[in-house]
Amino acid sequence: MNARKLKLPLWIFLLATILLMGLLSTGKTPLVTGEAPKAVISLELAASVPQASAIIRSWADRDRLPLAARQIHLDFAFIAAYTGLAVLLALWQRFMLPVGQRNWGRVATLAICAALLAGALDVVENFSMLDQFARYLERSSLEGTTQRTFWAAAVKFGLIGTSSLLILALDIRRLGGTDA
């Protein structure tokens, strides 16, 4: 495989990521409440059961829980798009490295692992939020799901940042062209 073969998939995943990001962005406005100023992201980062309950209640009271669930379902496609894009970008950077810098391929491997793990945690987070909705409607405790959602989201955001920085480091290294 070479970098040239990655161009079309890269463009497809980039366009899919941008399109899905736009769709998610336009759908979040009705989910912005006093309890959820960042819409679904507020629930992802709700660190306590009372905070998560207040967010879900603010949506349920306005009949917006189905919209929140649709946003989360759409996010599954976004996860596939951004994870695929990050993996392809890291691979492309790896193939574009000059021969003397091929040992930087390990950095690409780390970026790919971070992106894949972030995507997996995002899936866990989404299922946890959907479980929170079901538990709220059943009037069950949100105890375990709130912590699972929070930690999956927190680690996911860190891994997305790590993967992005590693891909940027690869790009800087490739453009710098020095051996190291």
Q: Which residue has the higher pLDDT, 173 or 133?
A: 133
pLDDT in tens, 116-126: 999 999 999 99
Q: Is the pLDDT of residue 179 over 70?
A: no
Which pLDDT belongs to residue 93? 87
Q: What is the mean pLDDT of the chain?
A: 92
Which pLDDT belongs to residue 68? 97
Q: Where are the alpha helices (DSSP H) in the chain?
A: 7-28, 40-44, 49-60, 65-96, 105-138, 143-176
The closest of 4, 176, 10, 164 to 101, measured between CA atoms, is: 176
pLDDT in tens, 64-107: 999 999 999 999 999 999 999 999 999 998 888 776 776 788 89
Please tell me the pTM assigned to this model: 0.91
Tell me how many domains the chain contains: 1
Q: 174: pLDDT confidence band, cut at 50, 70 and 90?
A: confident
Neighbours of 70 (CB within 10 A): 11
Segments forming the whole domain that contains residue 120 = 3-176
Q: Lowest-pLDDT range, 12-16, 44-48, 92-96, 123-127?
A: 92-96
Which pLDDT belongs to residue 96? 82
